[in-house]
Amino acid sequence: MYKKEKSIQIKSSASALYNNLSVLPIAQKNLTYFAVIHGSLVNMVSASTDGLNFSHRQLQSKEGGLVHGTSLIMQMYESDGSIMVYWHAMDTPEAQTAEAVFARGIAATGSHYVCVGSSTGSILVFNIPPEGTNITVSEVLEEHKDPITDIASDCSEDKGCIADLVTADDSGLLCIWKSGEDFKLIHKISSYGVTCSSVRMWSGIIAAGYGSGQIQVYDTASAAVHVEINAHARWISTLDVAPESGKLLSGAEDSFVNIWRLFRNPESKAIEVEHLHTECVIDVQVCGGKFCDPEGSAFAVTGYDLSEIIRYVQV
C-alpha cells in the first residue's frame, strides 16, 4: 500500500507528452531531482530526502529550439541543470524542408552510450567520453520507419543478457538491440496497429504499454510474449521499473496508476506479473510517473496542465 505525501509545486504545468517526468535520486547528496516539460521549458526541482527543502530551476531551449527554421536542438546538461555540455541539431538529410524534426525517447546503455530517438524514426547513438565534453555521434540506427516514442535500456544488475536496449515507435513496432561498438539488432516485434507509447526493460524482461490500455510483457531473449494485461481503460502514458525489486509502474489517461511486480517462475522460468496496488489520481490525466528510489518504495506522478508533482510513499 502507498499513501499520498505532500506534493511538490512546479513553476509551470506539465505538457501532454508521454513519460513527462524524470526522477534522479542521488543518495550521496540526500537529494532527488525531478524534471517536467512544459512546451520549450524544462522545470527542474531538487528535493531533500526529508521533503523539507526544495530548489527550482527552469531550462529554456536554445533560441526556442529552432535551427534553420524547422529542426529542433537536442541538448545535454549536467544532472543539476547548471551547465549545458552539448547540443545537437536534429535535422537529417532525409527530412523534408517543411517538416520539423524533434527528439523523443532517450536512454543510456553500455558503458558510454546515450541513444536518442527522433520523429523520423532514426536513433542517434552518442558516444560519451569518460571525461570532457567531446561527445560524438558514433552511429545512426535506421530500423524504424515511424516516429520513435520511447527508448529503454536494461536497468537490472544482470549485464549478461543477450540484449540490453529496446526501442518503440508510433506504429507499435519494437526493436531489441545489443549495444556495443556496433549496435546489433537481435529481434523485431511486429506491431498490431496500436502505438507503443512507453517501454521498459529489466532483467531480460520487456514491458510495453500501448494506446489500447494494454501492457504486453516479453522475454528479451526470445521476443515471445508471456503476459498480456488489460491494465487501463485509456491510453497508457507512462511506465517505469524499480531496478532492485522488479516493481512496474503504469499510468494512463484514465487517471489511474497501477503498481505491479515482474518476476520469473523459478520452476517454469516463465515470466509472471503480480498486481500490488492501484491509485486513482482524481481529476488528473496522468502523463508521467516514476519511482523515486531503486526499491520502488515511493513514486511520483505528473498530470496534464497540473503545476505540481504528486508523491506517494509505501506504508
Model pLDDT, residue 62: 61
Place of cell 505540481: 308
Task: Evaluate if pTM is beyond 0.85.
Answer: yes
Nearest to 102 by CA among 71, 69, 146: 71
CA separation for the pair 245, 293 (Å, rounded):
10
User: Which residues of the chain have a pLDDT value below 50?
Assistant: 64-71, 97
Nearest to 239 by CA among 273, 275, 202, 200: 200
**Residue 263 one-letter amino acid:** F
Model pLDDT, residue 91: 66
User: C-alpha grid cell for residue 264?
Assistant: 520469473
CA separation for the pair 245, 2 (Å, rounded):
16
Model pLDDT, residue 69: 43
Model pLDDT, residue 132: 79
| Extents of the domains making up the chain | 102-280
Model pLDDT, residue 124: 95
Nearest to 247 by CA among 237, 235, 238, 258: 258
Model pLDDT, residue 70: 44
Measure CA 209 to chain center: 12
CB contact at 8 A, 105 and 116: yes
Model pLDDT, residue 67: 43
CA–CA distances in Å: residue 236 to residues 31, 33, 35, 79, 233: 29, 24, 20, 27, 9
CB contact at 8 A, 219 and 227: no
Model pLDDT, residue 66: 44
CA separation for the pair 131, 251 (Å, rounded):
37
* 3-class secondary structure, 231: coil
CB contact at 8 A, 206 and 199: yes
CA–CA distances in Å: residue 115 to residues 43, 303, 308: 22, 26, 29
Model pLDDT, residue 51: 67
φ, ψ dihedrals at 87, nearest 5°: -140, 155
Model pLDDT, residue 262: 98
Q: Into which CATH architecture does domain 102-280 fall? A: 7 Propeller (2.130)
Model pLDDT, residue 64: 45
